[in-house]
Structure 1
Amino acid sequence: MERITYQDIPDGMFQKLKNIEDFINQSPLNESLLKLIKLRVSQINGCAYCVDMHYKELKHINETELRLSSLVVWKETPYFSEKERAVLNFSETLTQIDNTPINNEIYKTLEEYFSKSEICYITLAITQINTWNRLMKTFLFTPGNYKVSM
């Protein structure tokens, strides 16, 4: 049962977050890469609502079942490019952040594939999905009902 419904959310709160989503989506980053970030971070955070949403969105843009089912164990599979691996590693590190700066090796790997501007967008995308995960885990929106409207 939902703790907080759409009707309970303060006016403008979700719209402000959606504005950030729009900003990220207008970046030069690939849609599939952004959605992989969202799904992997949501898996790490155990956010059922967001896992359902981003799984369905990736299926909608023709992501393979093999890659989707293997995302949780991406390090042990050959299905992800080195560029995707750099982003997934960074996504996990930033999501499971501790009291130390991001490791230089992880950052340097990102620099092999992305400009500083793109790294900024990636960082924002990771922090944004972490925000959504924490909201959904607090509000307890019911997973399974999301319909892709792209």
Structure 2
Amino acid sequence: MQLTGTGRISPQQVSPEIYKAIAVVDQKLYGSSLGKALIELVKVRISQINGCAFCLDMHSQAAIKAGVSERKLILLGGWHEAAIWSERERAALGWAEAVTKIGGSRASDAEYDALVDLFDTKEIADLTMLIGLMNLWNRLAIAMRYQIQSEVE
């Protein structure tokens, strides 16, 4: 059995075909009209909600590379209260929270309706698949104890 440094299995090594298929879907989403910056913001917010340090580390760095400001990353956990977000960002973040916390929110009509005037139907589908996929990545990373690289001091 192939293990991670934490003693848990490494799905990437144990089941490479399925892992690669998931990664391909993830990469295809970057080709959507959602844009890389919005995709990374959504991924970081979902990772905050789920408490996935590995994904927070990875996607915070990717968000900066995609042009997201450090200020937005710092304020992301309190996005409801900060007036720095565009309407599209607010709608996407609201939908990301509703779908991630689906047991409590049931993905409310209000959250969905906020998308309809700002995103076309394909973008709504892509965003929803992105949210589901990011929740999968978070659960995989948390369950298998993926570790972030330590900083050199």
After TM superposition, the score normalised by the length of structure 2 is 0.87
Q: Which runs of 5+ in 2 are unaligned?
A: none
Q: Are residue 79 (structure 1) and residue 122 (structure 2) matched?
A: no
Q: Deviations over 1:21-59 (max 9, x none)?
A: 122112121110011110000000000000000001111
Match of 2:54 among 33, 42, 49: 49
- Describe the shift of the 1:82–1:128 C-alpha distance in structure 2 as closer, same or farther (beyond 3 A): same
After TM superposition, the score normalised by the length of structure 1 is 0.89
**Structure 1 residue 5 displacement after superposition:** 3.3
Instruction: Report which stretch shifted further, 45-54 or 136-145.
Output: 136-145
Match of 1:105 among 110, 125, 129: 110
Q: AA paired with 2:122? A: S
Instruction: Report which stretch shifted further, 60-69 or 126-135.
Output: 60-69
Residue equivalent to 1:148: none
- Describe the shift of the 1:36–1:99 C-alpha distance in structure 2 as closer, same or farther (beyond 3 A): closer
Identity of aligned residues (%): 32
Q: Which runs of 5+ in 1 are unaligned?
A: 146-150
- More relative contact order in 1 or in 2 (CA 8 Å, sep 6+)? 1
- Quick one: distance in 1 between partners of 2:65 and 2:135? 22
Moved over 6 A (4+): none
Residue equivalent to 2:41: 36
Residue equivalent to 1:23: 28
- Quick one: distance in 2 between partners of 1:133 and 1:54? 11
